[in-house]
Amino acid sequence: MKKLFQIFLLGAALLATATSADHLPYHGEGHVIATPDALEWQDVASMEKGAKIAILEGDLSKPAPFTFRLKLPANYRLAPHVHPAYERVTVLHGELHFAHGREFDRAATQPMPVGSFAVMSPGDPMFGYTEVETIIQLHGTGPWGIDYIDPADDPRKR
């Protein structure tokens, strides 16, 4: 299964790793290929403890394309939040339970198994959770950010 996962990821045409600033963002000058073991996972200050991020492409603070991955542990809760730009999510591993709304409601979520894709408009509130470790890939155009519907859910304000 691990080998199949690695083949799937390679087949998804990874664009760049966060190890070299001259590849961020990628503008089509040659090929850049990265395998999952080359990703550098870091804590996410704007999310609850346990979430990890690996930037594949771009500077999230600039008006430019970006691609990143989030690794969410089992039983992770995504509090209701919004983003300032379109969000495009693909589930690469595990399963994300996801919904539109301003209040967290597990029963309102839809399971998104591996291969699922979603697009959310700027300012549309959303929430979700995991039952197993889940890796999602997000891409869009920055600047990127997250604002929680309930400020008490924002770990940056604690």
Total number of domains constituting the chain: 1
Q: What's the CATH number where 62 sits?
A: 2.60.120.10
Measured CA to CA, the distance from residue 94 to residue 74 in angstroms comes to 9
Residue 94, in any domain of the structure: yes
Q: What is the pTM of this model?
A: 0.82
Residue 110, in any domain of the structure: yes
10: nearest Cα among 36, 44, 38: 36
DSSP state, residue 77: E
Residue 2, in any domain of the structure: no
Residue 79, in any domain of the structure: yes
pLDDT tens for 42-96 read 999 999 999 999 999 989 999 999 999 999 999 999 999 999 999 999 999 999 9
Residue 116 is encoded by which pair of tokens? 């699922």
Residue 13, in any domain of the structure: no
pLDDT tens for 97-133 read 999 999 999 999 999 999 999 999 999 999 999 999 9
Residue 12, in any domain of the structure: no
* Domain, as residue range, for 147: 39-157
Residue 122, in any domain of the structure: yes
Residue 147, in any domain of the structure: yes
